[in-house]
């Protein structure tokens, strides 16, 4: 827990101390509630896990299903309105801004994953909606307000509604005082 708070402090210039993160960051608190509810869920105490998750949602305004899988050093910045669904997987060192949804695109339960699989070192911008069993590759960035319905390759950026990949810039060559692609 201390290491996670130190990571958040290092990442967030607004965090003046580790204690500030531990005592006042709702995203940090939400992950604490999640870790407890997830442990209960894994030990087949599903009702108790749901109750703990509900308490966490009440206090933090972040909803994380107890069955979701979340890695280490995840930073939920501001947190309000974040929703992470039951079969979602979030890797290590992921930054999630407020209003992000990792949700299902189907109203009916289906076998297998229904929610996104987010690799490590991913950035999810404010109010991004990642829906369905899509894969977000390692190091990818999802812009604010983007709606993602298809896989995003590693180290790429997706923006817009519907989400579109940002073209990879061609390598520029300096010729005299002009840049040429």
Tokens for 119?
A: 């690799």
Check residue 174 and give its pLDDT: 57
DSSP 166: P
DSSP 133: S
**Bridging pattern class, strands 83-84 and 69-70:** unpaired
| CATH code of residue 51 | 2.160.10.10
Element (H, E) at 6: helix 2-11
- Asked if residue 17 has pLDDT above 80, the reply is yes
Check residue 177 and give its pLDDT: 54
Tokens for 116?
A: 């996104």
User: What's the pLDDT tens digit per position in 26-64?
Assistant: 999 999 999 999 999 999 999 999 999 999 999 999 999
Percent of the chain with pLDDT over 90: 85
Give the end-to-end CA distance of the chain in Å, rounded to a whole number.
47
Instruction: Give the DSSP letter string of 48-117.
Output: HHHHHHHHHHHHHS-EE-TT-EE-SS-EESS-TT-EE-TT-EE-SS-EE-TT-EEE-S-SS--SS--S-E
User: What's the pLDDT tens digit per position in 122-181?
Assistant: 999 999 999 999 999 999 999 999 999 999 999 999 999 999 999 987 554 555 555 454
Check residue 178 and give its pLDDT: 54
* Overall number of domains in the chain: 1
Quickly state the pLDDT bin for 67 (edges 50, 70, 90).
Answer: very high
CB 143, CB 123: distance < 8 Å:
no
Full domain range(s) for residue 175 = 2-180
What does R_g of the chain's alpha carbons equal in angstroms?
18
User: What's the pLDDT tens digit per position in 92-119?
Assistant: 999 999 999 999 987 767 778 899 999 9
């Amino acid at each position: 827990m201390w290491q996670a708070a130190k990571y958040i402090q290092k990442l967030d210039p607004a965090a003046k101390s580790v204690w500030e993160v531990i005592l006042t960051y709702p995203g940090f608190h939400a992950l604490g509630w999640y870790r407890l509810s997830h442990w209960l869920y894994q030990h087949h105490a599903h009702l108790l896990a749901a109750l703990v998750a509900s308490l966490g949602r009440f206090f933090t305004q972040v909803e994380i299903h107890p069955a979701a899988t979340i890695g280490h050093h995840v930073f939920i910045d501001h947190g309000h309105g974040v929703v992470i669904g039951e079969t979602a997987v979030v890797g290590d060192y992921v930054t999630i801004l407020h209003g992000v949804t990792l949700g299902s695109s189907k109203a009916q339960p289906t076998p297998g994953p229904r929610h996104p699989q987010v690799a490590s070192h991913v950035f999810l911008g404010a109010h991004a909606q990642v829906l369905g069993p899509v894969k977000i590759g390692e190091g990818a960035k999802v812009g604010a307000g983007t709606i993602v319905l298809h896989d995003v390759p590693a180290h790429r950026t997706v923006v817009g509604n519907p989400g579109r990949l940002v073209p990879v810039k061609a390598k520029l060559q300096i010729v005299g005082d002009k840049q040429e692609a």
